[in-house]
Amino acid sequence: MVSPCDGTVLHFGTVDTEHVEQVKGITYSLKDFLGEQSWKQNDSNTTNYRHSLLHKPDVGNTLYQCVIYLAPGDYHRFHSPTEWKPTHRRHFAGELLSVSPSIAKWLPGLFCLNERAVYLGHWEHGFFSYTAVGATNVGTVRVYFDKTLQTNIHKKSAPMKEICLGSAVDLKRGDPIGEFRMGSTIVLIFEAPIHFNFSIFPGDKVKMGQRLGLVHHQRFQDRISHEKSDGGYVTMRSAS
């Protein structure tokens, strides 16, 4: 998996509870950020929102997140970090508050307050979401494959609008996804095996295409071999 944009790493790690850290110690609600879980059948009947997102909880997968801040002077386009398929889009009308690190450090729930375009889908390890968060002077978010997205609208008229993208969109690593007018924030929340390793640190300056993390190859191969020996089947491509 590679960085979807140029920017600064605000936070990353596992998502172990119903609240996610936007920076160290300051959180927002996972459910408020992504919205009600209605885009896939929940076979487990769990009341735990975080667990309901997982496609493969029984094979040791968990949720991870990574937050990257694009300053106004950064390259303002954003790209696909890996091979994945977005199947639904949710547009949350909201505020256009600054998402700079200095604000994110003291305002809990900042990413839930701001306007955002949330793309939900899947990759080879299960659930995958990609969110472009609006910010001060960045009410216009353009997504190339989603011509119906209209941002910078009054939140009272349409607080949340959801569309199904179907199976028409297949993204490869590095594919252009869209652009901000100026800087803003990209939030990745995704499912992966427990031995997914990040290659970054908070505060790191990253470039689009730079490695963010990867699945430990040997452990992943051992898990695949074990599942096949038990009669299961998992489609495997090169680790991202």
Q: Rounded CA gap, 210 and 207, in Å?
A: 5
* pLDDT tens digits along 83-108: 999 999 999 988 777 777 777 777 77
In the chain, where the domains are located: 7-214
DSSP category for residue 53: H
Checking if the pLDDT of 178 tops 50, the result is: yes
* pLDDT tens digits along 118-157: 999 999 999 999 999 987 765 578 999 999 998 876 655 5
pLDDT-derived band of residue 225, with 50, 70 and 90 as boundaries?
Answer: low
146 is catalytic: no
222 is catalytic: no
Q: Which helix (H) or strand (E) holds 225?
A: helix 217-229
Q: Rounded CA gap, 139 and 137, in Å?
A: 6
Do residues 127 and 54 make contact, with C-beta atoms less than 8 angstroms apart?
yes
DSSP category for residue 95: B
Instruction: Check 3, 6, 76, 125 and give the catalytic one.
Output: 6
Specify which of 137-146, 178-187, 216-225 reaches the highest per-range mean pLDDT.
178-187
227 burial class (0-12, 13-18, 19+ CB within 10 angstroms)?
middle
Instruction: Check 79, 88, 91, 125 and give the catalytic one.
Output: 79
79 is catalytic: yes
Do residues 33 and 131 make contact, with C-beta atoms less than 8 angstroms apart?
yes
Checking if the pLDDT of 228 tops 60, the result is: no
pTM: 0.84
Instruction: Check 98, 129, 184, 240 and give the catalytic one.
Output: 184
Select from 4, 36, 32 the least CA-distant residue to 94. 32
Contacts of 200 (CB under 8 A, 6+ apart): 9, 12, 66, 206, 212, 213
